[in-house]
Amino acid sequence: MLIFGGRLLQRAVNGAMALTQVSSNKCCDGYQKVFEHDSSELKCKMKFAIYLPPKAESSKCPVLYWLSGLTCTEQNFITKAGSQQAASEHGIIVVAPDTSPRGCNIEGEEESWDFGTGAGFYVNATQEPWKTNYRMYSYVTEELPRLINSNFPADPEKMSISGHSMGGHGALICALKNPGKYKSVSAFAPICNPIQCAWGQKAFSGYLGADKSTWELYDATVLAESYSGPELDILIDQGRDDQFLSSSQLLPDNLIAACSKKKIPVVFRLQQGYDHSYYFIFSFINDHIKHHAKYLNA
């Protein structure tokens, strides 16, 4: 952090993007930190977690963005997923933002666990009263990377994205909507086809309105069907005993069909006995980080 101290000061003077360290813990020879800042997209204070591997002390590292699922904050992933060991070994910075703007005092935002607070769905809302603050798509794809690249020893050319459940949906759409921006993408139990499932229909109608054509802009299956861009390499793990799989919230078959048709390389693994929890993420996070490292460290 010392190297960048000067720039920090400058930013503070400019009054933009001031970062405050909330916590720092040494982990696997690197540091798991949490920062807070004033977000210009979300118009509120936002926290994010960042893991800095030992390699970051001496050189720039690639960055993996992790998007968490419904009801999560920046804490769940860093305390439950066990990603620090692999990140340390492969020399990758892992950034885990929060899942929605907080403390905006919007009416109705606390009503449901699957809409509003903790359920940003990684879209830029167009409907009131959400459209001012609920711009998670831009936050994740633009503001956050700018922040990270300016304040940390991050290689701006090497970014990958991953996530769980709603965050899996977020990772897929960010990659599909930004060809070439991410070197690789992976997901755990993602919501593959939101316009066809209850969660997605509820969230999109609230954030985006009634016009379903606007929903398609944020649907991974639809985006895959019309994707054209550099080749992707997508790894998806899905627990077979996931209750949301059986309740048709996730719909991975639709995505697989679309990717097969469009020849988008996907390896989809149905893991016997696993559910939707962080225990499932913990079990396979090393495979995912290795998958990303192949491209980030190439």
Partner 1 sequence: MDAYEVRGRLDVIEEEEAADEDAFVMVQDSPDVFCGDCGVLTVRGAAAHVSHALVTLAAGAQQMKDQLSKSRSKLSEKIIEMENFASNLEEIFITVEENFGRQEQNLEQHYNEVLQTLSQRNEARAAALDEQKNDKLERLYGQLLRCGQTLDASKELIESAQEVHRRRDKRAFLQAIMPIMKRVEQFAREEVDLKLGASLDFDVPTTDLSDVRQMMESINVLPAPSAPVMNPQIANSATETSLHVCWSLFSDDTVEFYELYWRLISDDCTMETPQEVCQLKVKETHCTVSDLLPNAQYELWVTATNTTGISPASERAVYMTVPSPPVIKARQCVSSLDAALIRWDSGNTNPVESYTLEFQEASADGESTATESIVAIPSCECLVQLQSWKRYIIHIRAVNIGGPSDRSPPLHISTTGTFFHLLEDTAHPSLSLSADGLTMFYLDEDLPISHMTFSDNTFNRCVAVLGDLVPIRGQYYWEMEVDESAEFRVGVAYEDTQRNSYLGGNNTSWCMRHILTPSRHKYEFLHNGWTPDIRITVQPLRIGVFLDYGRGILSFYNAALRQHLYTFSCQFLHYVHPCFALDNPGALTLCTGLTAPPYVAQP
The reply to whether 271 sits near partner 1 by the rule CB under 8 A is yes
Q: How far apart are CA 207 and CA 123, in angstroms?
A: 8
Assess 294 for contact with partner 1 (CB under 8 A). yes
Tell me whether strands 234-239 and 266-271 are parallel, antiparallel or unpaired.
parallel
Does position 158 interact with partner 1 (CB under 8 A)? The reply is no
Q: Decide: is 80 part of the binding site for partner 1 (CB under 8 A).
A: no
Query: What is the rounded CA–CA span in Å between residue 90 and residue 92?
Result: 6
Q: What angle do CA 24, 25, 28 make, to 5 degrees?
A: 135
Q: Could you say which of 37, 169, 242, 292 is catalytic?
A: 242
Give the CA radius of gyration of the chain.
Answer: 18
Neighbour-count burial of 210, counting CB atoms closer than 10 A to its CB (0-12 exposed, 13-18 middle, 19+ buried): exposed
Among 175, 264, 281, 289, binds partner 1 (CB under 8 A): 264
Integer Cα distance of 133 and 120 in angstroms: 10
Give the residue ranges of DSSP H helices in 81-233.
Answer: 84-90, 136-138, 144-151, 166-177, 198-208, 212-215, 220-225
Neighbours of 202 (CB within 10 A): 16
CB of 235 to partner 1, least distance (A): 8
Q: Which of 276, 288, 291, 292 is catalytic?
A: 276
The two tokens of residue 64 are 């993996």
* Shortest Å, Cβ 1 to partner 1: 30
**Token pair in block for residue 216:** 């398609």
Q: Which of residues 223-242 bind partner 1 (CB under 8 A)?
A: 231, 233, 240
Residue 269 near partner 1 by CB under 8 A? yes
Element (DSSP H or E) covering residue 32? strand 30-39
Identified binder of partner 1 from the candidate list 93, 259, 281, 296, rule CB under 8 A: 259
The number of beta carbons lying within 10 Å of the beta carbon of residue 95 is: 24
Active site residue 205: no
Whichever of 137 and 188 has its CB closer to partner 1, that residue is 188
Q: Which is nearer to partner 1, 207 or 274 (CB)?
A: 274
Check binding of 268 to partner 1 (CB under 8 A): yes
Piece of 48-56, 66-74, 133-141, 252-260 that binds partner 1 (CB under 8 A): 252-260
Which of 43, 157, 270, 279 forms a contact with partner 1 (CB under 8 A)?
270
Contact between 272 and partner 1 per CB under 8 A: yes
Active site residue 165: yes
Q: Which amino acid makes up residue 176?
A: L
Does 265 bind partner 1 (CB under 8 A)? Our answer is yes
179 binds partner 1 (CB under 8 A): no
Is 292 marked active-site?
A: no
Query: Which of the residues are catalytic?
Result: 165, 242, 276
- Residues of this chain that interact with partner 1 (CB under 8 A) are 231, 233, 240, 256, 259-260, 263-272, 291, 294, 298
